[in-house]
Amino acid sequence: MLNSSLQQLGAALRAKNISSVELTQLYLDRIAQHNPGLNAYITLNPEMSLAQAREADARIAAGKAGALTGIPFAQKDIFCAKGWLTTCGSKMLHNFVSPYDAHVISQFNDAGAVNLGKTNMDEFAMGSSNETSYYGTVKNPWDTARVPGGSSGGTAAAVAARLCAAATGTDTGGSIRQPAALCGISGLKPTYGVVSRYGMIAFASSLDQAGPMARSAEDLALMMNVMAGFDERDSTSLQRDKEDYAREINKSVSGGKPLTGLRIGLPKEFFAEGLDGDVAKAVESAIAEYRKLGASVVDISLPNSRLSVPVYYVLAPAEASSNLSRFDGVRYGYRAPEYSDLADMYEKSRAQGFGAEVKRRIMIGTYVLSHGYYDAYYLQAQKIRRLIAQDFTEAYKQCDVIMGPTSPSTAFKLGEKGDDPVQMYLSDIYTIAVNLAGLPGMSIPCGFGANNMPVGLQIIGNYFDEARMLNVAHQYQLATDWHSRAPQGL
């Protein structure tokens, strides 16, 4: 059961080969066994999970089951879930029990899915290694001396270690794709606005996007069918007709090669200095496999992508400094135990409640938005952001999808980059431009590099092209078995 796809689990539940209660208990037992060593989950509530499972079994017995009814999922602890502790990996929200559901959570509830628990994450989604969480570092299941990536590192570790059937993540600058690559799973960041951000605790509102993380592209498609949809409570949510993200996957292929006619763009900037040789080798082998599947390769250029990291670290902290101003110790969350007046309470609550990385980004963001620096930094960054988006627009005149490495290296050791924020920020050098442009991007396993650690292949599509991207990934996964590999000893 642990290695079954979502489709297989759904079929087994509907055929009464296993009940949702039994399946949920199987995962809860496994979490109890392995989570102490991985720290993938922050919050568990077996009573609530099993209650949902019983409801799902009743729904299945009544013949009202959907594709995901009764299947246990984990939820990143950035999504508000009614009755669940929702911390965002921060001391600031260590005691916050949400009174309402995020749109993503309500979509899973409506589908009859089971919430196994809330997964660990970098504090307020700020990090690339899951080492900034107030609840401790998450360990990579392939090597517990290494990072799982971030900020959705808890989700990635839980999926890779089979501590859930699949799970949700969020991606502001690569936080679904990078941990997916480092943990050897599949992850998708949808087009900005396709999945509602309502109830998703904000980091950088113009960049944040929720998405699915699972073992295969097929599983991602089934999750997208549940997660996507218009929500009037989110002003950035796009009002579009409902679509079946598995439609390309389910399309029959008769004769010939399944990806004949597909044009893959390879940006020269993604294969330049800074890319580790073992990662480059695995990605090049994946491209060779795509050629066998009928695709052709086109050399392209994204000349402004080299500016994506500095642009991101102006814009994202600027938005964070505004979004995080609401955490002041007055209405909810952490409040300093001792203070002299209101101003002192604000200062001490924020100083004690936020971690070092969050403070660093708030200070950067406040600086670039301050009088005298707004024009020099923030406005200039917005102009370059537009140029980065235009690069992609030009590139898609020559190709259908863009491919390259997800991360410049495999998972690095815990603590290796903690003293050098710039080196940590460069972990997202291939992913950030996608968020700045609002495009969909995904990562799928494509081999192993140094120390037998997973390597991720990034696939970037044009706006609203998720269905094609998922099929492009699916065809590769039919021809290879990288996505089915699991860490030893778990």
Question: What is the tens place of the pLDDT at every residue in 268-283?
Answer: 999 998 999 999 999 9
Within 327-420, where are the H helices?
Answer: 342-353, 356-369, 380-395
Judge whether 371 lies within some domain.
no
pTM over 0.85: yes
Catalytic residue (one of 175, 305, 308, 443): 175
Element (H, E) at 452: none
Nearest to 222 by CA among 212, 234, 237, 208: 212
Instruction: Estimate the crossing angle of helix 217-227 against helix 103-110, to 10 degrees.
Output: 100
- Let me know if 20 is a catalytic residue: no
End-to-end Cα distance, the chain: 14
Judge whether 387 lies within some domain.
no
Q: What three-state secondary structure class fits 484?
A: helix
Measured CA to CA, the distance from residue 163 to residue 431 in angstroms comes to 26
CATH number of the domain residue 99 falls in: 3.90.1300.10
Catalytic residue (one of 19, 49, 76, 216): 76
Measured CA to CA, the distance from residue 38 to residue 17 in angstroms comes to 30
SS (H, E, C) 66-126: CCCCCCEEEEECCECCCCCECCCCCHHHCCCECCCCCHHHHHHHHCCCEEEEEECCCHHHC
Element (H, E) at 467: helix 466-479
Task: Give the model's pLDDT for residue 424.
Answer: 87
- Let me know if 64 is a catalytic residue: no
Q: Please say whether the beta carbons of 377 and 294 come within 8 A.
A: no
Measured CA to CA, the distance from residue 143 to residue 131 in angstroms comes to 15
Residues 309, 315, 320, 323: is their CA dihedral positive or negative? negative
Judge whether 401 lies within some domain.
no
| pLDDT, tens digit, 9 for 90 and up, residues 115-153 | 999 999 999 999 999 999 999 999 999 999 999 999 999
Measured CA to CA, the distance from residue 213 to residue 474 in angstroms comes to 14
Helix, strand, coil shares of the chain as percentages rounded to 5?
45, 15, 45
Judge whether 235 lies within some domain.
yes
Judge whether 115 lies within some domain.
yes
Nearest to 120 by CA among 38, 61, 181: 38
Task: Give the model's pLDDT for residue 67.
Answer: 97
The angle formed by the CA atoms of residues 216, 220 and 223, to the nearest 5 degrees, is 140
Judge whether 104 lies within some domain.
yes
Measured CA to CA, the distance from residue 68 to residue 425 in angstroms comes to 36
- Let me know if 252 is a catalytic residue: no
Judge whether 144 lies within some domain.
yes
Judge whether 80 lies within some domain.
yes
Within 257-371, where are the H helices?
Answer: 277-292, 308-323, 342-353, 356-369
Catalytic residue (one of 20, 128, 133, 151): 151
Total domains present in the chain: 1
Instruction: Phi first, then psi: give them for residue 454, nearest 5 degrees.
Output: -65, 150
Task: Give the model's pLDDT for residue 260.
Answer: 95
Q: Which residues of the chain have pLDDT under 50?
A: none
Nearest to 88 by CA among 337, 362, 353: 353
Measured CA to CA, the distance from residue 23 to residue 107 in angstroms comes to 21
Domain, as residue range, for 146: 6-257+474-484
